[in-house]
Chain A
Amino acid sequence: MSTMNTVGRPTTPNAVESKPATLTGGRGLLQNEALIFEGDGWGKTGVDLPEPMGNASDLGNLVRKDPIGLPGLSEPEAMRHYVRLSQKNHAIDLAIYPLGSCTMKHNPRLNEKMARLPGFSDIHPLQPQSTVQGALELMDTLSHWLTTLTGMPAVALSPKAGAHGELCGLMAIRAAHRAAGHGLRSDKPRNKVLVPTSAHGTNPATAAFVGYTVVEIAQTEDGRVDLADLEAKLGDDVAAIMVTNPNTCGLFERDILEISRLTHEAGAYFYCDGANFNAIVGRVRPGDLGVDAMHINLHKTFSTPHGGGGPGAGPVVLSEALAPFAPAPWVVNTGDGFKLVEREEDEAGQAFGRLCAFQGQMGMYVRALSYMMSHGSDGLRQVAEDAVLNANYIKARLSDVMSAAFPEGPCMHEALFDDEWLKGTDITTLDFAKAMIDEGFHPMTMYFPLVVHGAMLIEPTETESKAELDRFIHAMRALAEAAKAGDKDRFKGAPFHAPMKRLDETRAARQPVLRWTAPDGSNMAAE
């Protein structure tokens, strides 16, 4: 019911609820932006090029004649289009991105400036090596930082993302077993990979991809690898275990030394998913834990941007046993310069192959090294400490209104809650997450890890201030209390204040529309 103040101005929230829809679809600063294909850009261009002579007659019938279907935008139209789109995005520069296990930390702009130095960005991957000594030096320096921080003797830089790094690590393990006579097609094959139930989806996907049978390892009540189950499943048919540490419940595997000892005794290798290295960098070296291979997501630990989902970079550190099998190319410091070894047959000759056309994600190497050098070894240690401190602070401040999945003991870089506390409210984890959007926050990771019901995995990172954490905690507590008080409407239809209402993902999957097509089915639409 609406009430008025003395000058007739509406004062109650109801009055706001009844606001009229706008006539154009625009809402204040948010523009309703059409697709580039829906404008008048056909035939237009926003790039001034010299006039070609127009001679391609030597190509005969190879010349493309039919319309391609690419509208153009002048520069001001392009700026408007993309800036309008940008304003519909959440970003770490706007607020916390508490996506547990994925997360984003602050992306320093110095990294961007360094990656754009022409000496790094404007060099060709196949220039004579004598003309790119500084680039090879950068790769060598990055390798030194990564191996020193992880306590591992070698690193393969070229994998292009975390999952590509997993592939690299498992292929090195496969090559090592084959060299030892235990290849997949040998008489005594090691054909199984053990993966905990809480693992990232990429772990079993990668192991299966490389031809291994995936066997799940059980988890204990306190969220760790079940040692007895591991021991029972280890045997001479096991190639490797893939364990994330700290794990996806945000917990350090207390028995990690025992896990690696048992694994090695069984003749298997220990692949560590290093997605969460940001929790321990500078305080723990995976090499001291008995790890044989571990990928590092440069965006997550070393602050490279991941704009809208990439590009990634997933260098893999390797133990002495696996180092000879690293893929080409790699950098060698010859004493009087740097050499890029591009042929697998060169040097030791045991490389398992090549993972991509060139040297990997150079642009990301520069950014990661810029970040590491800025922090230094002391600063990186502080990174891990503050990341863990921030996560535990959130856990401590929310545990009385939400239910921590593993209340006993500290967590590492992320705090995991289940949906026990929502029981009887008719509100799901998803509803709760969508209501967070209305309060101006990006939701946490939901329904992962799979071992916890209705999981809510919150990772703040070290780059959140206490004030920002308190703001987040305040919002979470307010929402939790509203949920328990039966304020269901706030959650069920949320978000109400985002650029869009809740999107119908089922419809998108059932009737996939994956591209714009001209309404009249004209030549601007293929087939």
Chain B
Amino acid sequence: MRYLPLTPDDREAMLAAIGVKSIDDLFVDVPGAARLDGPVDLPRVAGELEVERALGAMAAKNATAGTVPFFCGAGAYKHHVPATVDHVIQRSEFLTSYTPYQPEIAQGTLQYLYEFQTQVANLTGMPVANASLYDGSTAMAEAVLMATRVTRRNKAVISGGVHPHYVRATETVVHAVGVETQALAPAIDAEAAVIDQIGPDTACVVVQTPNIFGTATDVTKIAEAAHAAGALLIVVVTEAVSMGLLKSPGEMGADIVAAEGQSIGNALNFGGPYVGLFATRDKLVRQMPGRLCGETVDADGERGFVLTLSTREQHIRRDKATSNICTNSGLCTLAFTIHMSLLGETGLRKLALLNHEAAVKTRDALAAIPGVEVLTPRFFNEFAVKLPKPAGEVVEQLANHHILAGVPYSRLAPDAGMDDVLLVAATEITTDADIKILATALAKVLAN
């Protein structure tokens, strides 16, 4: 087998050095009843070619975003990733390194994490960011838990504009700890409605901008209302590129930002792995979950970087840790930071504007179709439309015509009574031809 270096002779020599007769002698502690005599019932060893054929056949059954007019968003976005990104993350020294436990021989990883933290902090407009969490949804759950630790209060008010899957992922985890949540009803322009729900027991208010319907909101007033009541404002961002055009959560008064970083440097990957961005204010750093990289000096006084503040973490604190999280999103973090370094502020702003303009064009094309009503008042690169037919059926029919037209809101929240709402996203990859194909086909499907 090509991944196993030991030869039969090696094995014999090693067994002799150990002083046993056979490999079975090393498994003597396994109770007899639990020992398998031979291989389990699965296919046997396979060469590269066979594996490529089998997996290639599965891959070929899927319609890929890059080959069709593509308008899906709702928390995962198709952007162009420069070739440099994927090349660098596949370098052996990055791809096959482990967690940087020995900083003297992990400065490559630690320095890019430090740069990543600074980029995320500046992008979100916050003073400090961690070295990433699993994804945006788990980052939101961690943000709510952190807010309860900081405020010593027990309730989260969640706007009806937050991604329904983020809400469920958060509820699942925080309810387990006994934190209460009040998730408001979905609405296109939902965020301001949280203000009336803030009370003396509110630990945090969670809003999303742009929200699941694409609506971009200035949340400054919500921040003021939350702070006046002693609560924290958590801002969720599912499309990181939006922060290249829209006011940052930090500027609007956020205390914690929980964002999905997939759009920068990372492929769609059918939902993962992605990269959770997590940023906060300086004074809350010690309540922050996840790994942190910090600056220090070595014995010669040279600047270097280490993982730090680990007294918050599970391997030190065990049952008193701030979170049970052990890993971060390593390689996805690297992809994010390389893409962001290539873009720079100039490129990011341009990219964000191109996204917005593509979405505006798409909106204009769809608004012209009889029976289609655009619902989202202000948006970045995604908006909601109301269709005269169930959005799920329309999307299926368009998929049969090789168009991925967007995400039906009912897919995320089947019981919300919004079966006619379609979420449509456009990015820099969207061409005028794509928009025309979508508009023409949608008009036809709706006319039939």
- B433 interface contact, C-beta 8 A: no
Closest A residue to B377 by beta carbon equals A58
User: Interface code A379-393, partner B: CB below 8 Å = 1, 0 otherwise?
Assistant: 111110110111011
- Complex Cα spacing A361 to B113, Å: 21
- Complex Cα spacing A99 to B96, Å: 13
Q: Provided the pairs A148-B40, A204-B319, A373-B51 are in contact, do residues A354 and B308 lie with their beta carbons within 8 angstroms? A: no
- Complex Cα spacing A124 to B251, Å: 32
- B273 interface contact, C-beta 8 A: yes
**Are A515 and B55 in touch, CB under 8 angstroms?**
no
User: Interface code B27-55, partner A: CB below 8 Å = 1, 0 otherwise?
Assistant: 11111011110111111111110111011
List A contacts of B324 (CB < 8 A).
Answer: 163, 166-167, 202, 205-206, 209
Closest A residue to B34 by beta carbon equals A288
- A121 interface contact, C-beta 8 A: yes
- Complex Cα spacing A122 to B269, Å: 6
**Are A410 and B40 in touch, CB under 8 angstroms?**
no
List B contacts of A162 (CB < 8 A).
Answer: 326-327
User: Interface code A298-336, partner B: CB below 8 Å = 1, 0 otherwise?
Assistant: 000001011111111100000000000001000000000
- Complex Cα spacing A466 to B46, Å: 24
Residues facing B in A404-446 (CB within 8 A) are 409-410, 412, 433-434, 437, 442-443
List B contacts of A202 (CB < 8 A).
Answer: 314-315, 324, 326
Q: How far is the CB of B60 from chain A (nearest CB, A)?
A: 6
**Are A526 and B122 in touch, CB under 8 angstroms?**
yes
List A contacts of B340 (CB < 8 A).
Answer: 70
- Complex Cα spacing A168 to B391, Å: 33
A sample of 19 more A-B contacts (CB under 8 A), given A370-B51, A443-B102, is: A62-B247, A64-B251, A86-B88, A87-B93, A90-B97, A120-B58, A133-B62, A135-B61, A166-B324, A211-B176, A303-B3, A310-B329, A358-B75, A358-B272, A396-B19, A409-B28, A463-B4, A501-B298, A502-B298
Question: What 4 A-B pairs are tightest by C-beta distance, nearest first?
Answer: A72-B344, A119-B59, A358-B271, A353-B172
- Complex Cα spacing A110 to B347, Å: 34
Q: How far is the CB of B406 from chain A (nearest CB, A)?
A: 9
**Are B88 and A36 in touch, CB under 8 angstroms?**
no
Closest A residue to B122 by beta carbon equals A69
**Are A205 and B29 in touch, CB under 8 angstroms?**
no
- B103 interface contact, C-beta 8 A: yes
- Complex Cα spacing A119 to B33, Å: 43
**Are B114 and A56 in touch, CB under 8 angstroms?**
no
**Are B14 and A363 in touch, CB under 8 angstroms?**
no
- Complex Cα spacing A282 to B130, Å: 39
Q: Provided the pairs A79-B88, A515-B128 are in contact, do residues A366 and B341 lie with their beta carbons within 8 angstroms? A: no
List A contacts of B45 (CB < 8 A).
Answer: 374-376, 378-379
User: Interface code B336-349, partner A: CB below 8 Å = 1, 0 otherwise?
Assistant: 00101111111111
List A contacts of B243 (CB < 8 A).
Answer: 64, 68
**Are A210 and B176 in touch, CB under 8 angstroms?**
yes
Tell me which of A46, A163, A498 has the highest count of chain B C-beta atoms within 10 A of its own C-beta: A46
Q: Provided the pairs A309-B100, A388-B27 are in contact, do residues A43 and B346 lie with their beta carbons within 8 angstroms? A: yes
**Are A353 and B55 in touch, CB under 8 angstroms?**
no
Q: Provided the pairs A122-B66, A126-B72 are in contact, do residues A392 and B90 lie with their beta carbons within 8 angstroms? A: no
Q: How far is the CB of A5 from chain B (nearest CB, A)?
A: 31
- Complex Cα spacing A447 to B309, Å: 18
**Are B65 and A123 in touch, CB under 8 angstroms?**
yes
- B10 interface contact, C-beta 8 A: yes
- A226 interface contact, C-beta 8 A: no
Residues facing A in B277-322 (CB within 8 A) are 282, 285, 291-300, 302, 304-306, 308-311, 313-321
List B contacts of A64 (CB < 8 A).
Answer: 243-248, 251
- B76 interface contact, C-beta 8 A: yes
**Are A134 and B61 in touch, CB under 8 angstroms?**
yes
- Complex Cα spacing A502 to B103, Å: 8
**Are A56 and B411 in touch, CB under 8 angstroms?**
no
One of B52, B60, B92, B177 near A94 (C-beta < 8 A):
B92
Tell me which of A201, A409, A526 has the highest count of chain B C-beta atoms within 10 A of its own C-beta: A526
List A contacts of B442 (CB < 8 A).
Answer: none
- A24 interface contact, C-beta 8 A: no
Tell me which of B64, B315, B324 has the highest count of chain A C-beta atoms within 10 A of its own C-beta: B324
Tally chain B residues at the interface, Cβ within 8 Å: 211
**Are B40 and A309 in touch, CB under 8 angstroms?**
no
Q: How far is the CB of B195 from chain A (nearest CB, A)?
A: 18
Q: How far is the CB of A456 from chain B (nearest CB, A)?
A: 14
**Are B105 and A114 in touch, CB under 8 angstroms?**
no
Closest B residue to A312 by beta carbon equals B327
- B106 interface contact, C-beta 8 A: yes
Q: How far is the CB of A252 from chain B (nearest CB, A)?
A: 4
User: Interface code B226-250, partner A: CB below 8 Å = 1, 0 otherwise?
Assistant: 0000000000000000011111101
Q: Provided the pairs A72-B343, A285-B36 are in contact, do residues A500 and B247 lie with their beta carbons within 8 angstroms? A: no
One of B25, B109, B308 near A508 (C-beta < 8 A):
B308
- Complex Cα spacing A302 to B250, Å: 41
One of A99, A412, A509 near B308 (C-beta < 8 A):
A509
- B225 interface contact, C-beta 8 A: no
**Are A130 and B111 in touch, CB under 8 angstroms?**
no
Residues facing A in B356-404 (CB within 8 A) are 356-357, 360, 378, 395-396, 399, 404
**Are B58 and A125 in touch, CB under 8 angstroms?**
no
Q: How far is the CB of A251 from chain B (nearest CB, A)?
A: 7
Q: Provided the pairs A358-B76, A465-B6 are in contact, do residues A83 and B171 lie with their beta carbons within 8 angstroms? A: no
List B contacts of A513 (CB < 8 A).
Answer: 294-296
**Are A43 and B345 in touch, CB under 8 angstroms?**
yes
Q: How far is the CB of B435 from chain A (nearest CB, A)?
A: 15
- Complex Cα spacing A208 to B298, Å: 36
**Are A501 and B115 in touch, CB under 8 angstroms?**
no
User: Interface code B405-441, partner A: CB below 8 Å = 1, 0 otherwise?
Assistant: 0010001101000000000000010000000000000
- A505 interface contact, C-beta 8 A: yes
- B20 interface contact, C-beta 8 A: yes
Q: Provided the pairs A130-B399, A205-B321, A362-B272 are in contact, do residues A309 and B10 lie with their beta carbons within 8 angstroms? A: no
**Are A310 and B327 in touch, CB under 8 angstroms?**
yes
Q: How far is the CB of A399 from chain B (nearest CB, A)?
A: 10
**Are B309 and A289 in touch, CB under 8 angstroms?**
no
- A355 interface contact, C-beta 8 A: yes
- Complex Cα spacing A213 to B82, Å: 49
Q: How far is the CB of B352 from chain A (nearest CB, A)?
A: 9
Q: Which of B149-157, B161-169, B186-194 contacts A (4 or more CB under 8 A)?
A: B161-169
List B contacts of A49 (CB < 8 A).
Answer: 347, 350-351, 354, 428
**Are A127 and B72 in touch, CB under 8 angstroms?**
yes
20 A–B contact pairs at CB < 8 A? A42-B344, A62-B216, A87-B108, A88-B108, A94-B93, A122-B268, A125-B270, A127-B404, A128-B395, A138-B58, A208-B321, A210-B176, A257-B34, A354-B168, A373-B50, A376-B43, A393-B17, A463-B5, A509-B294, A514-B295
**Are B97 and A122 in touch, CB under 8 angstroms?**
no
Closest B residue to A445 by beta carbon equals B101
- A493 interface contact, C-beta 8 A: yes
- B182 interface contact, C-beta 8 A: no
- Complex Cα spacing A201 to B311, Å: 12
User: Interface code A37-71, partner B: CB below 8 Å = 1, 0 otherwise?
Assistant: 10001111111011111111011111110111111
